[in-house]
Structure 1
Amino acid sequence: MANPLPDTNARPLWCFHGGIHIPDEKGLSSQCPIESVPLPERLWVPLQQHIGAPTRPLVAPGERVLKGQLIAEPQGLVSAPIHAPTSGRILAIEPHPVPHPSGLSAPCFLIEADGEETWAELPPPLLDYPQLDPGLIRERIRWAGVVGLGGATFPTHVKLNSAPDRPIHTLIINGAECEPYITCDDRLMRERALHIFEGVRIIHHLLQPRVVLIGIEDNKPEAIAAMRQALAATDMGGYTEIVAIPTLYPSGGEKQLIKILSGREVPTSSIPAQIGIVCQNVGTAAAVADAVLEGRPLISRVVTVSGRAIANPSNLEVWVGTPITHLIDQCGGYRQAPAKLICGGPMMGFKIEDSRTPIAKGTNCVLALTAAESPDPGPALPCIRCGRCAEVCPANLLPQQLYWYARAKDLDRVQDYHLFDCIECGCCAYVCPSHIPLVQYYRYAKTEIWAREKERRKAEQTRTRHLAKQARLERQARERQARLQQHKEALASQDKGHPEAQAAMIETIETARQRAAARKLYASED
């Protein structure tokens, strides 16, 4: 671990509740510059790589696509489009393993690369963005499919749309990268600091905050120095400050970083924008610069491939859709058979069984861990109520109570203990002496609650449609009755002097009504 920097910040820092000190293991890849990865023969591009509504395919199997071409459009506001990472042919749109804790498959584009790397026609750069309407800039970011690259994958254009009655006073750029092993943001800040600041400038133009704070853990002295040097080369120094924060996991969590830098706490079930703060990752800022200044969609990202089972740990520039096995081959393969293959970091990542799983927009790390790095904890033991989980919880929750109610499937009580404030950092499971996989229980409970809420909304929509249909049928019946009455009155006025003809007409109408009622009754019995 690098020696912490001396405290040179002019800004005071605050502490969040809990957190843990763990070996960072970043030395395996922190000195490895970002390298480009050769294009694989085939890519599996997931149709959904963001939080929110899924996308709708715009191409069909057999079609040829160009690099950067829009191949799936968003549905709804909270959604993000998908672009082709390379030129080639769509072989299929089919289920394939995707990077997700469930381990399940999901629809993916299977693209056979032609090796030509032929670009689609891209929109022109918006070099004069300070003179443009902010809505046009956000629409460009939306078109580019930019999402949060720190792991949350929330569509960036939504986050950059501040409400007029809720101005943003502080923009926080997250360069903490607190999870062990991961160094992709570290290398990005060292090598592309000026490009990050170009994105920060665009975000600042959209939100108009009074201050920009860039938080970086103090175990990244080279990144801090590179960012400070880049800041000095810009005209942003009057409102921007780079702050070295203490190394403590999970200081890179959004709410935790906000607490450290501002002393403010985001209320339960709220978002930072409600207290005038927006937080973006350094990789997201670079992607915003690509979209606005180059007209380039988000089709690649930097990924750390590390762990002691990897022959040559690296930081790689990877096309979205590249299978993990291709990255491992580029790193020289395995030094030894891994005990566990993880997508993401060792704390918040998840085990994957299929090395053909592709890289998605939110994939920042692939770990191949040895048995020594990831020992089998053995079977979970009964909870002894030691309280260590509550002591380290950065969200200041009661993990023990969440565990009991999640295990009992008491979904109402588990929400009473603010389950959705859990950031799934894994601190509680890390310190648990009984080796209970607490985060797995929380993920299960969240999934069940989401499924229940989905079913409730579906039932409510069905009920609403039924009531609307009933109202429509009743209205139509009333309208028919009114027309019939008008017709009777008209006939009565016409045949006022002919009572026999009037009676015959009324009898004919009543007979027709009786026949219609009989047909309706017969149809209902069938």
Structure 2
Amino acid sequence: MAVLERLWRSLAAGSRPAGGVLPPTRKSQTRDLGIRTPPLPARVTLLLEDGRDQPWREVQPIVKPGQYVRAGEPVARAVGHLALPVHASISGHVSALVPGHEADSGGQHPPAVVIESDGSSQHHWLPPLDWQGAAPGEIIQRIADAGIAGMGGGGFPAHLKVRAARQAGVDTLVVNAAECEPYLSADDQTLRQHTDQVLSGAAMVAHATGAASIVIGIEDDKPEAASAVRARLGELPCPARLEVIPIRYPSGGERQLIERLLGRRLASDQLPVDAGVLCHNPGTLAAIHDAVALGKPMIERTLTLAGRALARPGNVTARLGTAIEHLLQDAGLDRARLSRVIEGGPMMGQAISSLDQPITQTTNGLIAADAAELPTPPPARPCIRCGDCQPACPAGLAPQQLWWHAQAGEDHKAEANGLFDCIECGACDYVCPSHLPLANGFGEAKQRLRTARAESARADQARHRFEARQAREQREAAEREARRQARRQAATRRGQERDASSAKDSSADTKGTASVADVRGLRIAQAAAKAAARKAEKALERAAQQQQSADVLADLETQLDTARQHLAAADARLKAARQEETRP
């Protein structure tokens, strides 16, 4: 009987994702406090990407110091393929355009647009869109115009995920409402207080992608949110179901949730769309609803303020660019008690060095902890090979073996043992009796491998840059030829007007020489160039979602630029041929 019982438990365990840990949730500080709106800040600092290290995310300011802007007006336009427009989050005057500069602690401060508030509620929204009568492309473009990034942590442009999902033909939209990180309860409260907006956003995304069903995954410590969703599932225009799952960190990991809800396991080189799935969290879906139904750009987000150094913890909807200190002060910050501030949750979040830092679309929580609440980890000791980390790993890896390989510089052996399947959730760190920074070490090993591959690809990158330069020269030559064709036609028309009697003879002599076959060939070349540009776009988007190295992304950006130059040249040649064909 005991053997059968063990076998049954083994089979049951095999039917769900492995691993995970149960850290104290500590959500009681904020779970039932609702969402409040803090006072508008006197100033916001809207961070931009300058394109020096990440050209694919470059945005350029379109405002000047002293210019008046209303909340919702664009202040920077997207330049890079993976970039998003930035909108004023308050009304007021632009006080500065801050260039990127070196940080005191190393690294780089991105450029920023600084706006001083005038205290008014003036705003400028886009026109509302009737999503049920809109084409999928219109919805995707609206999400792009609103500047919405995924608010689950990665910050990837939402419209690119939706577009890729449509192109891949996904069948399921997963709403990731697990919110498994301790302390955080912003998604919980968003589902409770804005259920209609979240589900409406889900319906819009399902319509835009063609997904046939919606599955909402939520942990069982959120009964009020689950009840609110369950009561409205029947209002969705496609089949939908709610799955309540047991508390276990990191059940909210994208791959872990897909496997638990749908039984589809992803390899390290696969994305959710490869399994027919698109994932979004409640905050992102609510923002999509606001952008489509109301025309409201991305200017604010809901986040959790928690920690024992706060007298008034809770969830707030704050304007993007608000200084962290402003939010913590409004929540009753006790500086004497404050030990450190974590952006995000305690498992995967990062300690911040300055309270002047502004919040962004990916700031899902701020923890103002005292020394006893989140103590500094003790010094690391050597691995004792206890094996406690292995059952904790949600990816089914052997972290202790990966650690030994990584510490020995045997990164390729670590890769062979599943290094890139690691999601760096920190579950292994949590159970390690030696207090080893395992997840951080695995991240460093991944980066070393990516850097080595980028270095080995230098020759390819140089060739791609040369091809990009050639493509630009070809495009410029084609455009010059098109302009010459236009001038020739204009001169011919002027000659015809001066001497109408000779126009017929001139027409016979100067009839366009572009044959039908020539134009057809140029059309084929244009179609091929469009296909190549789309392929390059997809490759860049995929690499960005897989968090490839900056060098790899820069090379893919160069290849995309080359493809676009070839397309522009093909367009110019076809235009010139058509002008020649119709020349009198």
TM-score of the two chains, using structure 1 as the length reference: 0.80
Q: Offset at 1:364?
A: 0.5
Structure 2 Cα separation of the partners of residues 466 and 171 of structure 1: 42
Q: Deviations over 1:99-124 (max 9, x none)?
A: 9x99753222222222223323x321
Aligned to 1:123: 126
The answer on 1:332 being equivalent to 2:332 is yes
Amino acid at match of 1:425: C
For 1:349, the equivalent position in structure 2 comes to 349
SS class of match (2:325): helix
**CA–CA distance in 1 between the matches of 2:458 and 2:183?**
42
What is residue 173 of structure 1 aligned with on the other side? 175
The alpha carbon displacement at 1:312 in A equals: 1.2
Q: Which residue pairs with 2:371 in the alignment?
A: 371
**1:280 aligned partner:** 280
Cross-structure match for 1:258: 258
Does the CA-based 8 Å contact 2:50-2:111 persist in structure 1?
no
Q: Which runs of 5+ in 1 are unaligned?
A: 1-11, 474-526
Q: Does the aligned pair in 2 maintain the 1:83–1:299 contact within 8 Å?
A: yes
Query: For residues 108 and 339 of structure 2, what CA distance do their matches in structure 1 show?
Result: 21
Q: Which residue identity does 1:145 align to in structure 2?
A: G
- How many Å separate the matches in 1 of 2:408 and 2:272? 32
Match of 2:84 in 1: 80
1:134 to 133, 136, 139: 136
Alignment check: 8 A CA contact 1:307 1:368 kept: yes
Q: Structure 2 CA distance, aligned partners of 1:223 and 1:65? A: 37
Q: Which of 62, 66, 72 is matched with 2:70 structurally?
A: 66
- Measure the CA separation in 2 of the matches of 1:217 and 1:464: 47
Cα distance change of structure 1 residues 228 and 48 upon mapping to structure 2, 3 Å threshold: farther
Which letter maps to 2:33?
A: C
2:204 is matched with 202
In 1, Cα distance between equivalents of 2:120 and 2:454: 44
Deviation at 1:256, TM superposition (A): 0.6
Q: For residue 153 of structure 1, what is the amino acid of its counterpart? A: G
Kindly name which structure, 1 or 2, has the bigger radius of gyration based on alpha carbons: 1
Structure 1 residues 469-480: aligned runs within 5 Å: none
Deviation, 1:208, is 2.2
Q: Per-residue displacement from partner, 1:254-307 (whole Å, max 9, x unpaired)?
A: 111111111110122100111111111111110110111011111100010001
* Correspondent of 2:216 among 214, 217, 222: 214
> How big is the shift at 1:411?
4.8
Whether the 8 Å CA contact 1:13–1:260 is kept in 2: the answer is no
- Once the two structures are superposed, the pairs formed by residues 90-109 of structure 1 within 5 Å of their partners are 90-94=94-98, 105-109=109-113
Paired residue type of 1:36: T
Equivalent pair of 2:73/2:88 in contact (CA under 8 Å): yes
Aligned to 1:316: 316
Partner of 2:19: 18
Task: For residue 457 of structure 1, report the CA deviation from its aligned partner.
Answer: 6.0
Q: Distance in 1 between matches of 2:397 and 2:22?
A: 19
CA positional deviation for 1:57: 2.4
CA 1:96/1:309 → structure 2, altered by over 3 Å: closer, same or farther? farther
SS of aligned partner of 1:188: helix
Asked whether the equivalents of residues 250 and 394 of structure 2 are also in contact (C-alpha less than 8 Å), the reply is yes
How far apart, CA to CA, are the structure 2 residues paired with 1:109 and 1:19? 41
Q: Offset at 1:58?
A: 2.3
Q: SS where residue 78 of structure 1 aligns?
A: coil
> Using the alignment, how far apart are the partners of 2:323 and 2:468 within structure 1?
48
Name the count of aligned residue pairs.
457
Paired letter, 1:125: P
- CA distance in 2: counterparts of 1:60 and 1:455, whole angstroms: 40
Task: Give SS of 1:161's match.
Answer: helix
Whether the aligned pair in 2 keeps the contact of 1:49 and 1:360 (CA below 8 Å) is: no
The offset of 1:339, in angstroms, is 1.9
Which amino acid in 2 is paired with 1:207? T
Could you tell me which residue of structure 1 aligns to residue 29 of structure 2? 28
SS at match of 1:328: helix
Q: Distance in 2 between matches of 1:191 and 1:417?
A: 44
* SS of aligned partner of 1:269: coil
Task: Specify the code of the residue in structure 2 equivalent to 1:281.
Answer: N
Deviating more after overlay: 184-193 vs 147-156: 147-156
Would the alpha carbon gap of residues 289 and 423 (structure 1) be closer, same or farther in structure 2, given more than 3 Å must change?
same
Instruction: Please tell me whether the aligned partners of residues 45 and 320 of structure 1 are also in contact (alpha carbons under 8 angstroms).
Output: yes
Say if 1:160 and 1:206, in contact at 8 Å, map to a contact too: yes
The yes-or-no answer on 1:295 pairing with 2:298 is: no
How much has 1:382 moved relative to structure 2? 0.9
One-letter code aligned to 2:62: L
Q: Which residue of 2 aligns with 1:488?
A: none
CA distance in 1, matches of 2:291, 2:309: 36
Is this contact kept in 1: 2:146–2:298, CA < 8 A? yes
- Would the alpha carbon gap of residues 417 and 17 (structure 1) be closer, same or farther in structure 2, given more than 3 Å must change? same
Q: CA RMSD in A?
A: 3.1
- 1:503 alignment partner in structure 2: none
Measured after TM superposition, the shift of residue 446 of structure 1 is 4.0
1:29-44 → structure 2 map (5 Å cutoff)? 29-44=30-45
Residues 409, 337 of structure 1: alpha-carbon distance in 2 compared, 3 angstrom cutoff: farther
1: CA distance, partners of 2:220 / 2:471: 65
SS in 1 for 2:24: coil
Q: 1 CA distance for matches of 2:281 and 2:471?
A: 51
1:510-525 equivalent positions in 2, closer than 5 A: none
Task: Tell me the equivalent position of 2:422.
Answer: 422
Which letter does structure 2 place at the counterpart of 1:339?
S
In structure 2, do the counterparts of structure 1 residues 463 and 276 end up closer, same or farther at CA, with 3 Å as the change threshold? closer
Distance in 2 of aligned mates of 1:377 and 1:202:
45
Q: TM-score, normalised by structure 2?
A: 0.72
Offset from partner CA, 1:343-380 (integer Å, 9 cap, x none): 00000101112111111001010001122221233211
Paired with 1:74 and 1:113, the residues of 2 have a C-alpha distance of: 24
Report the Cα offset of residue 336 of structure 1: 4.8
Q: 1:84 to 1:380 in 2, by over 3 A?
A: same
Corresponding position of 1:112:
116
Match of 1:53 in 2: 57
Cα drift, residue 444 of structure 1: 3.0
Deviations 1:219-264 (A, max 9, x none): 01111111112334x244x601111111111111111111111111
Q: Following the alignment from structure 1 to structure 2, what is the Cα–Cα distance between the partners of residues 117 and 165?
A: 40
Contact 1:14 1:259 in 2 (8 A): no
Letter in 2 for 1:45: L
Letter in 2 for 1:24: T
> Residues 48 and 54 of structure 1 are in contact (CA less than 8 Å); yes or no, is this contact kept in structure 2?
yes
Partner of 1:489: none
1:103–1:184 CA distance, 2 compared to 1 (3 A): farther
Maintained 8 Å contact 2:23/2:249: yes
Question: Residue 410 and residue 227 in structure 1: after superposition, are their counterparts in 2 closer, same or farther (change >3 A)?
Answer: same
